[in-house]
Amino acid sequence: MSDLQSNVKDELSEILFVKNPKIFVIEWLPFDSNQLIELNHKLDIEKGSRKTLLTGLIDQSPDSPTFQSKGKHTKVVVKDYSLDNYVNLEAIIDIPEQEGIVQIEEMAIFVSKAGFVVYSLSLKEIDGKNTFMSLDKLSRVVADLSQDSSVLIDSLLTEFQRKFLKIIFGNPIHRPKTICYVGEEINIKHDDVNDYLDGEDCEIELNQLLGEGHKPYKVNNDLIFKGTRGSISIIEDFTEDKEFQMILWGIQHAIGSFVDSFMSRIWELYDQANSTKDIVEEAVEGNTEALNRVQEHITILTSTISVVGQIQEFLKESCIDVLGRCRKNDKTVLSECFDVEKSLITSQNRIAESEKIINGLLTELEGLRNYIATLSELQMRKMSKVMTQNTKSMNQVLQANTRTGGAIDMIELILAGSIILEVVAFAIGEISSDQTIFRSILDGAGLDKDQIATLTLFIVSIFAWIAIVVYLRWSKNRLERKALKDFFITMTVNKKINIQKLDDYMKDKEILTKRVEYEHNSVMITYVWDIGKDAELKDLDLEHVSFTYNETNSLLISIDIETSKVETDQKALLEIILSDMRKSGILD
Amino acid sequence: MFIDENSSNENKSDISILTRDQQILLYTIDYMIKWVKGGDHFLQIPEERTWIKELPLWAVIYYQIVKGTYETYDYAPTSIQFFGRSSFTVNLSYEGVDDIEDLRELEIIDKIRLSTSQHGFVTAYRITEYGNKLLVLIPEDVKDEVHGLFYCKHCKTHLNFLMNIGDEPEIKIDCPECDVSDFELSFLKSEDVSYISEPYFLRISKKLVG
């Protein structure tokens, strides 16, 4: 295929070329037996080795008979597997590229239950050149592979694993991976490996693939370059042992990279927990909006940290697994160069330390959650107190209204009398206030006809007045009964009580609320209880009764009664409650 | 955070100690500090307290390479982590990175490292007093070449530099006046090459899980 093209905008200065390169892209993902079995089921392994098309899309319309895909698929063929231990796949990536770019991208994928995933391929041609391929061009192939491998494996992961990756990396398609290159030869072969660190062309080209600060090693005839992003091995005889040493090193490097991102995320969560404390302070200052916000923050943070804790468990187990394999590994010349154990122990220690931070964060969030709950309760109490005060104020207004109503009643009665007198006067003329009627009565001279008539009319007027007064009062009471269903009675008691007896008394009551307030050195307790189920008092026209008492000096402060009948005898009701309390031994 | 403040370079005030590419790079660093200061984020801060961050500097170096400014630089797609989380591929010039280090060794620029809120690190640079002395010695044709790239070809307006770092980062050089654009900055897009690969099955897979 000599017509292979690229869209590189610059003229590359290619210095180093390697012969027949193989590329190994290695990463660590949270896997265990269950996740691997799930993956194997997704691959339809029972059906044999036929090609399966995979997609990362999720069926959002289970009721629909058809399904639309976006045209990006990966063909995979299972080569070898153990249901709960590993799977070996062949993948053909079919992702559309720009015009003129031809990528025949076929790779092998190895997934283990310990979580290491190795994408491996042998490069046959780049931009029409085979055999010796430049490191410059290899870096472009690897940039493509890194992204495509993320897309590929994404279609095989469970939603559970995708969530893990999203929490750690934000955008999981762009996540760091370890790249190991193996070539049979290199075009520039220095006798002294340090000559590759020339500070110029050679070093710069190696930096492109490995990152700055890479180190060269010479082991017999083999050249190894190890850097922060992976390794380049120039090995003429790539034996199984060398492959094992290199892959094991890549796995520990991938675990280390994941731990780096994992720790960054933990510290970020730590900062978020700290900023949550700032919002708590706002809430303490009475910002109710901040109170709602902080509750939401704590819930999201706790959930994220719990997931991070689960990832930590996966990492821990995987580290133990790889460390075990590493210790079983025979020490060879190359294994000294690819030192794995020390780095793995470092990763293991970091993972162990992260556990303390995760637990600390969870404890801190639990503390904050409890504090916020107390704060909410305090605010509710304040609201309840305000409502009680409002109710009392309303009660006072009601009583004032009642008194005003009484005064108005009197005025109404006087006016009614005046009206009657006016009516009588209109009907029969003015009733003269003739003093001779009283003089005649005093003298015992008797009354004449006119005097009797005048007196009779006066008495009739009085009776008519009384009749109207009675009628008005009756009508008014009837209207009041319709308008007012509830009525509040408050009695200030200020008497010593037996607290123990009161507690026993309240055990049998249906308590609606118990409010405890700390005022100066006193504890004020208010019980509100429902009279409905009270055997002794249920026949009375009572709704609720509340006691307020000072627990510190055993003093009953007040009794509040809510009744549904206006005409109820308030004193009698209070007396019934008080006698009930005396009977129970609460009051003397 | 550390700053190199070592020996004096008074006796080396000769621009010939720098290659032409290094001169362009030095003048670009100075220009970017003034450019960003003179843009939307203009602040009355003394120049010696302004640092240019590594990422926008790399982006501009890439832009200059594509425009053919440098004689020896090229670039390669490189995966870097933004602020400690997702890793992105950028077209990074290691020749440019190497020259930045050379300028540092010559005490022409200072380097500073600062933490980010996401627990990553950001590197930034500024020009030293010695560097400022060398700046005035940079030939006019070099300065003109750098200037020329920061003006719109069509309307001659000074271009804007825009950087947005998030889950989907974006770095752009834009003309604020005209819609015509011939300066698409594909710093964050890796270029494709054609290639053919074959699967390579691990021979030691059983040993890894057995």
Look at residue B41 and tell me whether its pLDDT is greater than 50: no
Q: Is the dihedral of CA A200, A205, A210, A215 positive or negative?
A: negative
pLDDT digits (tens, 9 = 90+) for A557-579: 888 888 766 667 778 888 888 88
Cα separation of A492 and A495, whole Å?
A: 9
Pairing state between β A230-234 and A178-183: parallel
Q: Which of A400-404, A502-506, A528-532 has the highest mean pLDDT?
A: A502-506
Q: How far apart are CA A523 and CA A51, in angstroms?
A: 77
> What does the buried/exposed string (b/e) look like for A159-170 if buried means 16 or more CB atoms within 10 Å of the residue's CB?
eebebbbebbbb
Q: What count of other Cβ atoms lies within 10 Å of the Cβ of residue A102?
A: 17
Tally of domains in chain A: 3
On average, the pLDDT of chain A sits at 83
Higher-pLDDT residue of A520 and A308 is A308
pLDDT for res A419: 77
Of A113-117, A376-380, B206-210, minimum mean pLDDT range = A376-380
Residues whose CB falls within 8 Å of the CB of residue B176, separated by 6 or more in sequence, listed in order = B157, B159, B160
Contact B198 A106 (CB under 8 A): yes
pLDDT of residue B44: 42
Write down the pLDDT at residue B11: 47
CB-closest option in A4, A121, A263 to B194: A4
* Res A174: pLDDT: 82
pLDDT-based confidence at A288, cuts 50/70/90? confident
Instruction: Tell whether A313 is covered by a domain.
Output: no
Q: How confident is the model at residue A360, as a pLDDT? A: 92
What one-character DSSP code corresponds to residue B122? Answer: E
Mean pLDDT computed over A307-334: 86
What single-letter DSSP state applies at residue B167? S
Looking at residue B190, the DSSP 8-state letter turns out to be P
Which of A38-52, A119-133, A317-331 holds the top average pLDDT? A119-133
Which pLDDT belongs to residue B38? 47
Task: Give the number of other Cβ atoms within 10 Å of residue A566's Cβ.
Answer: 15
Tell me, what CATH number does A516's domain have? Answer: 3.30.160
Report percent pLDDT > 70 for chain B.
79
Which of B75, B94, B195 comes nearest A10 by C-beta? Answer: B75
Classify the C-alpha dihedral B5-B6-B8-B13 as positive or negative: negative
For residue A404, which amino acid is it? T
Q: How many CB atoms lie within 10 A of CB A545?
A: 25
Residue A417 lies in a domain: yes
- Min mean pLDDT across A413-427, A540-554, B5-19 is at B5-19
Length of chain A: 588
**Contact list, A122 vs chain B (CB under 8 Å):** 197-200
Which pLDDT does position B1 carry in this prediction? 29
More reliable by pLDDT, B205 or A375 = B205
Residue A269 lies in a domain: no
Of the candidates B87, B94, B205, the beta carbon closest to that of A110 is on B205
Q: Distance (Å, rounded) from C-alpha A577 to C-alpha A232?
A: 93
Which residue in B has a C-alpha nearest to residue A120's C-alpha? Answer: B200
Reported as a pLDDT band with limits 50, 70 and 90, residue A10 is low
Please list, residue by residue across B118-133, b when 16 or more beta carbons sit within 10 angstroms of its beta carbon and e when fewer do. Answer: bbbeeebbbbbebbeb
Closest chain B CA to residue A91: B199
Half-sphere exposure in the Cβ direction for A131 (13 Å, CA): 1
CA distances from A494 to A490, A515, A556 (A): 13, 19, 5
Q: Quick one: pLDDT at residue B15?
A: 85
Rounded mean pLDDT of A66-86? 78
Tens-digit pLDDT profile for residues A446-469? 777 777 877 787 788 888 888 887
C-alpha distance from A122 to closest chain B C-alpha (Å): 5
Determine the average pLDDT of the residues in B127-137.
92
Classify residue A459 by its DSSP letter.
Answer: H
Burial (CB count within 10 angstroms: exposed 0-12, middle 13-18, buried 19+), residue A315:
buried
For the segment A403-425, the average pLDDT, to the nearest whole number, is: 76
Confidence of residue A482 (pLDDT cuts 50, 70, 90): low
Highest averaged pLDDT of the listed ranges A32-46, A59-73, A376-390: A32-46
C-alpha B163/C-alpha B32 separation (Å) is 13
Q: How many CB pairs under 8 A join A and B?
A: 209
pLDDT band at A392 (very low <50, low <70, confident <90, very high): confident
Lowest mean per-residue pLDDT among A41-55, A194-208, B86-100: A41-55
Based on the fold, state whether residues A122 and A144 are members of the same structural domain: yes
Q: How far apart are CA A464 and CA A560, in angstroms?
A: 42
Asked if the structure places residue A356 within a domain, the reply is no
CB contact under 8 A, A98 and B199: no
Residue A354 falls inside a structural domain: no
Distance in Å, alpha carbon of A270 to nearest chain B alpha carbon:
10
Give the end of a domain, one of A212, A238, A264.
A238
| pLDDT at residue B195 tops 80 | yes
What pLDDT is stored for residue A48 in this prediction? 62
Residue at A323: amino acid letter: L
Phi, psi angles (nearest 5°) of residue B79: -85, 120
Q: What confidence score (pLDDT) does residue B2 get?
A: 35
Three-state SS at B126: strand
pLDDT confidence of B40, banded at 50, 70, 90?
Answer: very low
* Distance (Å, whole) CA A163 – CA A304: 10
Of A87 and A198, the structure prediction assigns the larger pLDDT to A87
- Beta-carbon separation of A123 and B195 below 8 A: yes
Q: What is the DSSP string of A515-548?
A: EEEEETTEEEEEEEEE-TT-TTTTTSSEEEEEEE
Q: Do both A465 and A430 map to the same domain?
A: yes
pLDDT at site B12: 53
A339 pLDDT above the threshold of 90: no
B46-100: pLDDT as tens digits: 556 788 888 889 999 999 998 899 998 989 888 887 655 667 889 999 999 999 9
pLDDT in the model for residue A486: 53
pLDDT at A429: 65
Asked if A85 lies within 8 A of B209 by C-beta distance, the reply is yes
Secondary structure class of B182 (helix, strand, coil) = coil
Residue A250 inside a domain? The answer is no
- A459 and A549 in a single domain? The answer is no
- Select the more confidently predicted residue: A431 or A347: A347
Q: Percent of chain B having pLDDT more than 90?
A: 37
Q: Which tokens in the block code for residue A336? A: 């000294």
* CA B178/CA B163 separation, integer angstroms: 19
Note the pLDDT of residue B208: 87
What per-residue confidence (pLDDT) applies to B110?
Answer: 93
Read off the pLDDT of each residue in A253-274 and give the average, rounded to a whole number: 90
Q: How far is B97 from chain A (nearest CA, A)?
A: 9
Q: Which tops the pLDDT comparison, A330 or A90?
A: A90
- H or E stretch including A258? helix A240-284
- Asked whether the predicted pLDDT for residue A415 surpasses 50, the reply is yes
Q: Using CA atoms, how far apart are residues A165 and B179, in angstroms rounded to an integer?
A: 39
For B121, name the nearest residue in chain A, comparing CA atoms only: A264
> How many Å apart are CA B152 and CA B176, to the nearest integer?
9
Q: What pLDDT was estimated at residue A285?
A: 74
State both tokens at A182: 């193996």
CB atoms within 10 A of CB A226: 20
Q: Are residues A561 and A504 located together in one domain of the fold?
A: yes
* Residue A329, in any domain of the structure: no
> In the predicted model, what is the mean pLDDT of residues A335-359?
89
Q: What is the pLDDT of residue B180?
A: 61
Question: Quick one: A220 and A133 in the same domain?
Answer: yes
The pLDDT of A366-390, averaged and rounded, is 83
Q: Of A431, A451, A483, which residue constitutes the final position of a domain?
A: A483
Q: How far is B127 from chain A (nearest CA, A)?
A: 23
* B3 has a pLDDT exceeding 60: no
Instruction: Give residue B42's pLDDT band: very low, low, confident or very high (50, 70, 90).
Output: very low
pLDDT at position A59 is 63
**Which helix H or strand E contains A178, and what residues bound it?**
strand A178-183
Alpha-carbon span A448 to A433, nearest angstrom: 15
Residues A76 and A111 reside in one and the same domain:
yes
Residue A197 to residue A175: CA distance in whole angstroms = 29
CA distance A284 to chain B (A): 26
Paired with A565 in beta bridges are: none
Residue A549 domain-assigned (yes or no): yes
* Structure-block tokens of residue A95: 């992702």
Q: 3-class SS at B50?
A: coil
Name every chain A residue with its beta carbon within 8 A of the beta carbon of B75: 10
> Where in the sequence is the domain holding A88, given as residue range(s)?
1-7+15-57+71-238
Rounded-to-integer distance, Cα A117 and Cα A310, Å: 19
Q: Are A206 and A15 in contact (CB under 8 A)?
A: no
A208, A192: one domain: yes
Most confident option among A30-44, A223-237, A373-387, A468-482: A223-237
Q: And the tokens for A289? A: 């909006």
Q: What is the pLDDT, as a whole number, of residue B130?
A: 92
Contact between chains at A121 and B197 (C-beta distance less than 8 A)? yes
Residue B121 Cα, gap to closest chain A Cα (Å): 11
Nearest-CB residue to B85 (from A127, A169, A204): A169
Q: Which of the four pLDDT bands, split at 50, 70 and 90, describes residue A471?
A: confident
Cβ pair A57, A30 in contact under 8 A = no
Percentage of the residues of chain A whose pLDDT score is greater than 70: 88
- Domain termination site, one of A462, A483, A504: A483
Q: Which residues pair with B196 in a beta bridge?
A: A104, A125
Give the alpha-carbon dihedral of A68, A71, A72, A74, to 10 degrees. 80
The one-letter code for the residue type at A19 is: K
Binary contact (A207, B75; C-beta < 8 A): no
My answer on whether A437 and A512 are in the same domain is: no
Are both A156 and A183 inside the same structural domain?
yes
- The pLDDT of residue B105: 93
- Among A264, A274, A340, the strongest candidate for a mutation testing the B interface, having the largest count of B CBs within 10 A, is A264
pLDDT over 90 at A353, yes or no:
yes
pLDDT for A514: 82
**A contact test, residue of B197, B198, B206 with most A CBs within 10 A:** B197
Give the residue-averaged pLDDT of A171-185.
91
**For the ranges A22-26, A180-184, B168-172, B182-186, which has the lowest average pLDDT?**
B182-186
A516, A525 contact by CB (below 8 A): yes
Judge contact between A576 and A559, C-beta under 8 A: no
CA distance B173 to B60: 9
